[in-house]
Structure 1
Amino acid sequence: MTTQTDLARRLRTLHAQPPLVLPNAWDAGSARAIEAAGAAAIATTSAGVSWAAGVEDAGGLNRTTAIAALRAICAAVSVPVTADIEAGYDDVAATVAAALEAGAVGINLEDSTGGGLDDPAVHAARIAAARAAAVAAGIDLVINARTDTYLFGDGSGTADRAKAYAEAGADVLFVPGVVDPSTIEQLVKESPLPLNVMVGPGAPTVAELTALGVTRISVGPAITTAAYGFATAAAKELLSSGTYESLSTR
């Protein structure tokens, strides 16, 4: 029987054998589909979980709803799951404890709230609280420290934040909003932590990113967006023309 300790060890090992490619799930059904496709681990997307719950991303989700979705995802698959817990829902220690109880063995923890960057010391404290909660639970949690320096700024201070987050107990640096190869290569050189980037159409391939030194690659809400986009298009066709041609392509 695979224990949570085993899953935590497996997730950490996957980071030591890059690239770790993480399709992002938003519910139990999408998680099962991603596992069936061959994923060695699964990441959740807070945006997708929010939309599935009928609320807006970046502020609409709360701990109770997020953990309920996470519990269903973890129960549906046999691979390690790392959970997007946004900025921790006010009480990081309580959220991490709940995520671990739900079965997660990794988390994403972001350094922005309310559409703006938080002070790096504030986020370092969140990371330290997350690590302490994991130690108390006896789980070797993989902490993916997300910095939004490129989403809400020009990237200034990214290296300094990476160092502070590493010292606080983070394992990986997640920098969404960056797909330029030269910038990625510089981030790999400057960061004391392995680098996670978020990709989509137009981004370098997995092989190219690996060659640049990227350890972890995820797609954020891109799969969720595509799935809901297809549902909308199919429904519009059915309701307008009464035909079903879009369904034949899947």
Structure 2
Amino acid sequence: MNKYLHFHHLHNQPTLFKLLNAWDPLSAMLLEQAGCAAIGTTSWGMANARVQQDGESCSFECFITQTKQIVDSVNIGVSVDMESGFSDDIETICDNVLTIAKLGAVGINIEDSSKKTGQLRHINEQSLILGAIRQSLDNAGYKQFFVNARIDTALLAQHQFSNTQARADAYAKAGADGIFIPGLTNPTQIETLCKQLPVPVNMLALPTCYNSEALQNLGVKRLSFGNTFSDNCINLIQKQVSKTLKCSDHGDLFQYNSITLPF
């Protein structure tokens, strides 16, 4: 089974697929070493690594350089968080997706809000974008490349369930392989979408939505962890540095298991 089919298979098994997210080559290698079957990237974590805010704050060329380092560092499939596509022009977005595919990634995550306006794209506009992406990938020989369509209604506090449902249905019909609704936490609505859609539903782990067994029982097929691990690493360093500067006994800094790095 090639890596593209394997990635699809991970979304179509009885057990929910946990997609952990990397932000640099080392984090990617550690996730692979720990047993992840595939990983995603986190644009938030990658932006932190550049000392920038999330939200397409760098050039696409800079983003691709970072992404290539992550993809090249592991032997497992990598799904790339490409935010809103680094453009609002359909042709440019399609070119950007193909650039990512040519790096060796197995899929993308693309949002239906525009970074330029900070607002949701019209449902018809995003459907056209997704359809064009699918056609471009198929024409270039990437028919198994996984397109995960992210719906930002909940994150932008514009969540009327009928709107979210309509977008999910339209994006699936346009050619999306999966539907991602970060911020949606209502169990009844999640279950309704899982039953309604012909493609796997992806949720984001949040302080209000983190029980994978409960989500699996609702029909969710993938749980993404976004910037969780990146944030945890930052938080650990901040706490340890603060403690080190305030105390004289530093023995706790050495109370960790021996480290075996994958290189």
Quick check: TM above 0.5?
Answer: yes
- Which runs of 4 or more aligned residues in structure 1 lie more than 6 Å from their structure 2 counterparts after TM superposition? none
Q: Secondary structure at the match of 1:9?
A: helix
CA contact (8 A) 2:21 2:41 kept: yes
- Uncovered stretches (5+) of structure 1, i.e. residues with no partner: none
- Structure 2 stretches of 5 or more lacking a match? 257-263
Mean Cα deviation higher: 131-140 or 171-180? 131-140
The match for 1:154 is 159
1:117 counterpart SS class: coil
Whether the aligned pair in 1 keeps the contact of 2:56 and 2:83 (CA below 8 Å) is no
Contact in 2 for aligned 1:21/1:218 (Cα 8 Å): yes
Partner of 2:130: 127
Structure 1 pair 102–243 and aligned structure 2 pair: CA distance change class (3 A): farther
Question: Aligned partner of 1:109: which letter?
Answer: I
User: Which one-letter code corresponds to 1:84 in the other structure?
Assistant: D
Shift of 1:196: 0.1
Q: Does 1:169 align with 2:166?
A: no
Which letter maps to 2:81? D
Q: Does 1:112 align with 2:117?
A: no
Q: Distance in 1 between matches of 2:188 and 2:153?
A: 17
**What is the correspondence of 1:1-250 to structure 2 with a 5 Å cutoff?**
6-17=2-13, 18-90=15-87, 91-114=92-115, 115-139=118-142, 140-152=144-156, 153-156=158-161, 157-241=163-247, 244=250, 247-248=253-254, 250=256
- Tell me if structure 2 keeps the 8 A contact 1:162–1:193: no
CA–CA separation in structure 1 for the residues paired with 2:252 and 2:121 = 44
Rounded Cα–Cα distance in structure 2 between residues aligned with 1:164 and 1:170: 9
In 1, Cα distance between the equivalents of 2:212 and 2:233? Answer: 22
SS in 2 for 1:83: strand
Could you tell me whether the CA contact under 8 Å between 1:196 and 1:215 is conserved in 2? Answer: yes
- Residue aligned with 1:31, SS: helix
Matching residue's letter, 2:139: A
Describe the shift of the 1:249–1:126 C-alpha distance in structure 2 as closer, same or farther (beyond 3 A).
farther
TM-score where L is the length of structure 1: 0.91
In the alignment, the residues of structure 2 paired with residue 243 and residue 146 of structure 1 have an alpha-carbon distance, to the nearest angstrom, of 47
TM-score by length of 2: 0.87
